[in-house]
């Protein structure tokens, strides 16, 4: 697994950036670079259930929140896949990457927010993730600064 880190400074308070990241109305706008019909659903509880799903296929990732400090930090741990509505946490394919995290940290200083993202992926997906996060975080910046 490759460790990936991304950072962007946004001229907006952290509460606004958090809302752009996780509001259903804006989430798809910045995640479209990963999947044009991205959606997510969570109970916003540590140890609870989170699903990152493609709205067209219904397929995606089954995850949980490992750490949560509203408007400051959320750390998702990916536990399995969802395919045809069925959650898979036990197949060999899933075991190869289960446990990777996706961590979003927002640090505000003088009205500007530094958004830091850390995740892991296999070598096969490094370019895809780099392009997705570069474009996606720029979209978060654009939406947050409106």
What is the per-residue pLDDT across 98-139, written as a single tens digit (0 to 9) for each? 999 999 999 999 999 999 999 999 888 999 999 999 999 999
Q: Compute the average pLDDT of residues 57-85.
A: 96
Residue 1: per-residue pLDDT: 86
**Across 9-13, 71-75, 90-94, 140-144, least confident range:** 90-94
| pTM reported for the whole predicted model | 0.94
Residue 33 has pLDDT above 90, yes or no: yes
Name the pairing type of β-strands 86-88 and 50-54. Answer: unpaired
pLDDT range class, residue 34, cuts 50, 70, 90: very high
Domain that holds residue 16: 2-144
* CATH number reported for the structural domain that contains residue 36 in this entry: 3.30.530.20
Total number of domains in the chain: 1
Is the Cβ–Cβ distance between 124 and 1 less than 8 Å?
no
């Amino acid at each position: 697994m490759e460790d990936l880190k991304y950072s962007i400074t946004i001229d907006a308070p952290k509460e606004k950036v958090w809302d752009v990241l996780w509001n259903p109305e804006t989430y798809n706008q910045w995640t479209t670079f990963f999947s044009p019909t991205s959606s997510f659903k969570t109970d916003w509880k540590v140890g609870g259930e989170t699903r990152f799903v493609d709205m067209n296929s219904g397929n995606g990732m089954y995850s949980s929140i490992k750490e949560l400090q509203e408007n400051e930090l959320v750390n998702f741990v990916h536990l399995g896949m969802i395919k045809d509505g069925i959650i898979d946490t036990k197949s060999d394919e899933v075991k190869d990457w289960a446990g990777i995290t996706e961590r979003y940290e927002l640090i505000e200083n003088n009205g500007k927010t530094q958004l830091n993202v850390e995740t892991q992926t296999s070598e096969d997906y490094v370019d895809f993730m780099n392009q997705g996060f570069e474009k996606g975080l720029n979209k978060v910046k654009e939406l947050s600064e409106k």
